[in-house]
Amino acid sequence: MPPILALLMFLVGAGLTIWATEELIKGLVGLSTALKVSAFVAGVVLSGFEAENIAVGITASLNGSSQLALGTIYGGAIFLVCVALGLGALLFPLEVNLPKGFIILFALSPVISGLALIEPVTPRWVGVVLLLVFVGAIVYLIIASRGHTFLLSKEVEEGATEKSSLAKAIFLTIGGIALIVLGGELVTQGAENIISGFGIPAGIMGMIITPAAIELEEIIRQAVPSKSGRHDISAGNLIGTLLYFLIFNNGIIALVAPVKIDPQVIRLDFPFLVIVTFIAAIFLWRGKVGRGAGLFLLASYVVYVGLHFVFN
């Protein structure tokens, strides 16, 4: 396949998965409204839902692209903590007063996700364990947040104000899932052909370029609520998304399409994620992620990219 066509396929796939995910979220929120499910519960469950990560990760795993599959988990999480949180805080400093248990859960999420790396191929039993942990974490967040609204994401809040018929909600949900699967296939095939056509190392393509392309909207989700003074929404989206990336998506991929572990993920990506998440947790513990902290997180991402170029 010509490199330009592969690049176009990759960009179209990434754009399609991002757009389709937004439509899917509208459908799920519409379902919660039409079925009279608590808007707060919908906010917690959907705050970090990343169906495009699951689609790209599973497709890549089935096609044997381990770096791309793991990149949707670990590369995506590093992008979230360093770039989405960092740039968001640099533009609009984040001031939060989260329960300490939430911050501890945030800091421990990467460590827990390391269960998937204990064997050369992600064990299916680890997938089951991670999914159970995810359910327990969500239940804990819901119970501990009772009476508060700080985990209600902006997109759910806006969606809840719109009247949506059950038929429309079902259509958006099913259509969104179908388009996400298609987008995931385009991203995977495009990435594989870019790697072979342009000579881009698989680690850089899987851990940096693909996660960044898919997760660009996370910068907006992180910055816009803070700009509006809703720092609680930004913090809730951050914690929810990280849980989805590292625990839920990781569990689904391990259970449905076990992936071979690249040693560099263990040597570089996983420990780097643990360190930057712990540092971000310290900022959250202090109650503020200011411009200095945001600049530090962005600089950390530059270091991370540099390390990939050095070791690839």
Q: What are the residue boundaries of the structural domains of the chain, listed by start?
A: 3-311
Task: Return the amino acid letter for 92.
Answer: F
- Check if the beta carbon of residue 240 is closer than 8 Å to that of residue 44: yes
Per-residue pLDDT of 177-236, as tens digits, reads 778 668 767 776 776 677 666 666 766 776 787 777 767 667 766 676 677 666 666 777
The C-alpha atoms of residue 184 and residue 182 are separated, in whole angstroms, by: 5
Query: pLDDT value at position 204?
Result: 78
Stated as kind and residue range, the H or E segment containing 194 is helix 166-198
The C-alpha atoms of residue 248 and residue 252 are separated, in whole angstroms, by: 6
Its pTM stands at: 0.75
The C-alpha atoms of residue 312 and residue 257 are separated, in whole angstroms, by: 26
Longest dimension (CA), the chain: 56
Q: Please, which pLDDT band fits residue 153 given cuts at 50, 70 and 90?
A: very low
What letter would DSSP give residue 260?
A: B
Query: pLDDT value at position 159?
Result: 45
What rounded mean pLDDT belongs to the chain? Answer: 79
In the chain, pLDDT over 90 holds for what percent of residues? 27
Question: CA 71, 105, 158 angle in degrees (round to 5)?
Answer: 75
What letter would DSSP give residue 119?
A: S
Q: Please, which pLDDT band fits residue 41 given cuts at 50, 70 and 90?
A: very low
Indicate the pairing of strand 288-289 with strand 94-95.
Answer: antiparallel
**220 by DSSP, 3-state: which?**
helix
Q: Residue 117: how many CA atoms within 13 Å on its side-chain side?
A: 21
Which residues partner with 40 through β-bridges? none
Terminal Cα-to-Cα distance of the chain (whole angstroms): 24
The single residue listed with the structure tokens 């439509």 is: 23
The single residue listed with the structure tokens 């096609």 is: 63
> Is 255's pLDDT higher than 80?
yes
More confident residue, 52 or 277: 277
> Is 150's pLDDT higher than 70?
no
Query: pLDDT value at position 241?
Result: 86
Query: pLDDT value at position 172?
Result: 82
More confident residue, 220 or 153: 220
- Taking phi first (over 0 means left), then psi (-120 to 50 degrees means alpha), and beta for anything else, what does residue 108 get? alpha
The single residue listed with the structure tokens 């962005």 is: 298
Token pair recorded at residue 68 = 């791309």
Per-residue pLDDT of 12-26, as tens digits, reads 877 887 777 667 667
Fold classification of 3-311 is A middle domain of Talin 1 (1.20.1420)
R_g (Cα) of the chain, nearest Å = 18
> Is 55's pLDDT higher than 90?
no
Task: Write out the DSSP string of 13-71.
Answer: HHHHHHHHHHHHHHHHHHHHHHTT--HHHHHHHHTT--HHHHHHHHHHHHTT-HHHHHI
Query: pLDDT value at position 10?
Result: 79
- Check if the beta carbon of residue 91 is closer than 8 Å to that of residue 227: yes
More confident residue, 5 or 130: 130
In this predicted structure, which of 82-86, 149-153, 205-209 has the lowest mean pLDDT? 149-153
The mean pLDDT of 296-304, rounded to a whole number, is 95
